[in-house]
Amino acid sequence: MQEDLWEFALAVYARPSVEGACLRLQEAGADVCLVLTALWLDRRNCALDAEGLARLQRASQHWQDTVVRPLRQ
């Protein structure tokens, strides 16, 4: 399943204008990995409620704090 998400994210990100849109979202404070994950779940007709989103945010917090934010600075 992880490979499927990774392949989906790469394919979406490679589409025209998506990279720029993702960078703008990231600059505004969005977690682009979570955005792509939400899109992937939607494509599979998997509902993502507030509780599910909160779990994903908690799971990705360490990555955001230790990798993404330092790179963005």
Q: How far apart are CA 47 and CA 69, in angstroms?
A: 28
Give me the tens of pLDDT residue by residue for the chain, a chain 73 residues long: 557 999 999 999 999 999 999 999 988 989 999 999 999 999 999 989 999 999 999 999 998 899 988 988 8
End-to-end distance of the chain based on CA atoms, in angstroms? 32
As separate numbers, helices (DSSP H) first and strands (DSSP E) second, the chain gives 5, 0
Q: What is the pTM of this model?
A: 0.81
